[in-house]
Chain A
Amino acid sequence: MRSAGRPGPGSVPGQVERGGPDGTGPAGGGGAMMRFMLLFSRQGKLRLQKWYLATSDKEKKKMVRELMQVVLARKPKMCSFLEWRDLKVVYKRYASLYFCCAIEGQDNELITLELIHRYVELLDKYFGSVCELDIIFNFEKAYFILDEFLMGGEIQDTSKKSVLKAIEQADLLQEEDESPRSVLEEMGLA
Chain B
Amino acid sequence: MPAVSKGDGMRGLAVFISDIRNCKSKEAEIKRINKELANIRSKFKGDKALDGYSKKKYVCKLLFIFLLGHDIDFGHMEAVNLLSSNKYTEKQIGYLFISVLVNSNSELIRLINNAIKNDLASRNPTFMCLALHCIANVGSREMAEAFASEVPRVLVAGDTMDSVKQSAALCLLRLYKTSPDLVPMGEWTSRVVHLLNDQHMGVVTAAVSLITCLCKKNPDDFKTCVSLAVSRLSRIVSSASTDLQDYTYYFVPAPWLSVKLLRLLQCYPPPEDAAVKGRLVECLETILNKAQEPPKSKKVQHSNAKNAILFEAISLIIHYDSEPNLLVRACNQLGQFLQHRETNLRYLALESMCTLASSEFSHEAVKTHIETVINALKTERDVSVRQRAADLLYAMCDRTNAKQIVSEMLSYLETADYSIREEIVLKVAILAEKYAVDYSWYVDTILNLIRIAGDYVSEEVWYRVIQIVINRDDVQGYAAKTVFEALQAPACHENMVKVGGYILGEFGNLIAGDPRSSPLVQFNLLHSKFHLCSVATRALLLSTYIKFINLFPETKGTIQEVLRSDSQIRNADVELQQRAVEYLKLSSIASTDVLVRAGGTGGRRLPPGPRAGTGWLRGAGNGARGLSPPGGAGSHLAPGRGLAGWAGWGMGHRPDPSTPSPSADLLGLRAAPPAGSAAPTTAGNLLVDVFSDNTSATSGLAPSTEDNFLSLPVMQPGSCQPQMLGLYIGSEGHRQGLAHLFSPPPPRGRFVCKNNGVLFENQLLQIGVKSEFRQNLGRMYLFYGNKTSVQFQSFTPIVTYPAGAQLNIQTKAVEPLVEGGAQVQQVLNIECLSDFTLAPLLNIKFRYGGTLQNITLKLPVTLNKFFQATEMLSQDFFQRWKQLSQPQQEAQKIFKANHPMDSEVTKAKLLGFGCALLDKVDPNPDNYVGAGIIQTKSLQVGCLLRLEPNAQAQMYRLTLRTSREPVSRHLCGLLAEQF
Contacts and interface: CB of A to CB of B under 8 A. Distances in A.
B126 A157 contact: no
B266 A189 contact: no
A157 B205 contact: yes
Given A15-B419, A152-B174, A147 B133 contact: yes
Contact of B316 (A27, A48, A61, A162): A27
Given A13-B387, A19-B651, A110 B355 contact: no
A111 B17 contact: no
Contacts of A49: 67
A21 B355 contact: yes
A46 interface: yes
Given A21-B395, A139-B67, A80 B419 contact: no
Contact of B319 (A20, A27, A151): A27
A78 B249 contact: no
Given A11-B382, A21-B354, A137-B14, A54 B103 contact: yes
B346 A79 contact: yes
Contacts of A156: 166-167, 170, 202, 205-206
Query: Main SS of the interface on chain B?
Result: helix
Interface string B59-88: 010011001010100000000000000011
A24 to B, nearest CB: 5
Contact of B206 (A27, A137, A154, A189): A154
B384 interface: yes
A82 B351 CA distance: 12
A136 B957 CA distance: 95
A67 interface: no
Contacts of B266: 26-28
Contact of A17 (B103, B216, B423): B423
A18 B9 contact: no
A113 interface: yes
Nearest to B21: A136
B395 to A, nearest CB: 3
A169 interface: yes
A141 to B, nearest CB: 10
Interface in A109-135: 109-111, 113-115, 117-118
Contacts of A17: 423, 652
B406 to A, nearest CB: 14
Is the interface on chain A under 10, 10 to 19, 20 to 34, or 35 or more residues?
A: 35 or more
Nearest to B168: A151
B737 to A, nearest CB: 31
B311 interface: yes
Contacts of B132: 151
Contacts of B178: 54
A36 B508 CA distance: 59
Interface in A8-67: 11-15, 17-24, 26-28, 31-33, 46, 48-49, 52, 54, 57, 61
Contacts of B638: none
B67 A186 contact: no
A169 B126 contact: yes
Interface in B338-393: 343-344, 346-348, 351, 354-355, 357-359, 381-385, 387, 391
B394 interface: yes
B427 interface: yes
B551 interface: no
Nearest to A13: B419
Contacts of B167: 151, 156
A27 B305 contact: no
Interface string A164-188: 0010011001100111010001111
Contact of A19 (B7, B129, B650): B650
B420 interface: yes
Given A110-B307, A111-B308, A139-B64, A158 B126 contact: no
A77 B96 contact: no
A143 B9 CA distance: 18
A16 B40 CA distance: 45
Interface stretch (B255-263, B495-503, B588-596): B255-263
Nearest to B320: A27
B139 A170 contact: no
B698 to A, nearest CB: 51
Determine which residue in B212, B344, B358 has the highest number of CB atoms from chain A within 10 A of its CB, and name it.
B344
Contacts of B348: 81, 109-110
B812 interface: no
Contacts of B773: none
Given A13-B384, A114-B301, A151-B171, A170 B92 contact: yes
Contacts of A151: 132-133, 136, 166-167, 170-171, 174, 206
Q: Which 4 A-B pairs have the closest CB atoms?
A: A27-B266, A13-B419, A21-B395, A152-B174
5 contacts: A13-B383, A17-B423, A28-B263, A113-B344, A187-B14
Given A24-B358, A170-B88, 19 more contacts: A17-B652, A18-B391, A20-B354, A21-B357, A54-B103, A57-B71, A111-B304, A113-B304, A137-B18, A140-B92, A151-B133, A152-B137, A152-B174, A154-B209, A156-B167, A157-B166, A158-B247, A158-B257, A179-B9
